[in-house]
Every structure is written in structure tokens, then in C-alpha cells.
Amino acid sequence: MRILGIDPGLATLGWGVIEAESGRQRLINYGCILTTPQQRLPDRLKQIGEDMRDLLALYQPDEIAFEELFFAKNVTTAFTVGAARGVSIAACAAYTDRLFEYTPMQVKQAIVGYGKAEKQQIQQMVKLLLKMDHIAKPDDAADAIAIALTHAATGPAREQFLMK
């Protein structure tokens, strides 16, 4: 099964593609969709949608896993990142109905075994699990790979994480 993991963002949207088969995972590729504050918000959202459609056409994932958004304080950031996440979900929903989502704590628990793990611990485990030469950069791409690995690890229980 080919899984696309997505770490939503407006300036930097991380993505990672893995192959998962018989309990083994293999990294296909990873990267980021980048927009700049100099672009108007509608143009940034349009670019995210277009780039997401290009990723879907190129990698043809069987299932797509998103990280749920969590914001404690900055409402403005929550709205703009939420808009970027919405555009990404819309592009993916036009491609497939196999969309899943995981909380940051669920990703940490799946990758490190501890729901309050530090970002560096997650990145190191992703590197080890996929036998990578180095930690994926930027952080958003590494997070997206972790989301894809989390989805692969859910096995038959994955249906409970299907987006509603």
C-alpha cells in the first residue's frame, strides 16, 4: 500500500510517501509545498491545491493520512493553516475517499512509544525505521513521514481514523 502523509501548513506543508507491505515500510520520497507571505492568501491556497493535485498524480497513493491541527493561542494562524488544510483535504477528497487523520499525540505514541515525545526523538525514530542516511529536513517533511508511518502501523484498526 502506498501512503501519503501530510503535515498541513500555509507557508510549509510537509508531505511524505511510503510503501507499506507485510509490516515493512520503505520511503519513496518527501518534501514540502512552500508559499511565501508576499503572496496573497488566495494565491497561496490556489498553489497548495495545484501542488497537491500534482503530488497525487505523481505518487498515486492508496491512502492519505493528515495530522489534525492543534493550536493553543494564535487564532489568526489557526484560521490560515486551517484554510490550507481544507484546500489540501479538498484536493485529496477529489482523488480518493481514503482520507485519515491522527492527532500529534497519536503520531508520537506510534513512532516513539510516548505521547509527549520531543520532535528530535520522532525524527530520529523515522530515520531508524526507514534506514535513512540522515534526518529528513525540513521538520514539516519529517513530520509528514511520521504521519504516514503512523497510518501504516494502525493496520486493521485504521478504519477508526477515517475522516468523518
Read off the pLDDT of residues 26-75 as tens digits, 9 standing for 90 and up: 999 999 999 999 999 999 999 999 999 999 999 999 999 999 987 656 77
Per-residue pLDDT at 31 = 98
User: What are the structural domain ranges in the chain?
Assistant: 2-104+137-161
Read off the pLDDT of residues 115-155 as tens digits, 9 standing for 90 and up: 889 889 999 999 999 999 999 999 999 999 999 999 999 98
| Beta-carbon contacts of residue 84 (< 8 Å; ≥ 6 apart) | 8, 9, 10, 13, 44, 45, 48
Helices 104-112, 139-154: inter-axial angle, 10-degree rounding: 70
The active-site residue, picked from 51, 63, 101, 140, is 140
Residue 6, helix vs strand vs coil: strand
How many Cα atoms within 13 Å fall on the side-chain side of residue 119?
A: 10
Is 140 catalytic? The answer is: yes
Residue 161 DSSP code: G
The active-site residue, picked from 7, 51, 63, 101, is 7
Alpha helices for the chain (secondary structure H): 41-59, 75-95, 104-112, 119-129, 139-154
139: left (phi over 0), alpha (psi -120 to 50) or beta: alpha
User: Domain spanning 2-104+137-161: which CATH class is it, in words?
Assistant: alpha beta
Residue 78, helix vs strand vs coil: helix
What one-letter code names the amino acid at 38?
A: Q
Q: Is 70 exceeded by the pLDDT of residue 93?
A: yes
Per-residue pLDDT at 46 = 98
Read off the pLDDT of residues 105-116 as tens digits, 9 standing for 90 and up: 999 999 999 888
The active-site residue, picked from 51, 63, 67, 143, is 67
Per-residue pLDDT at 140 = 95
| Beta-carbon contacts of residue 17 (< 8 Å; ≥ 6 apart) | 2, 3, 4, 5, 27, 28, 29, 30, 59, 61, 148
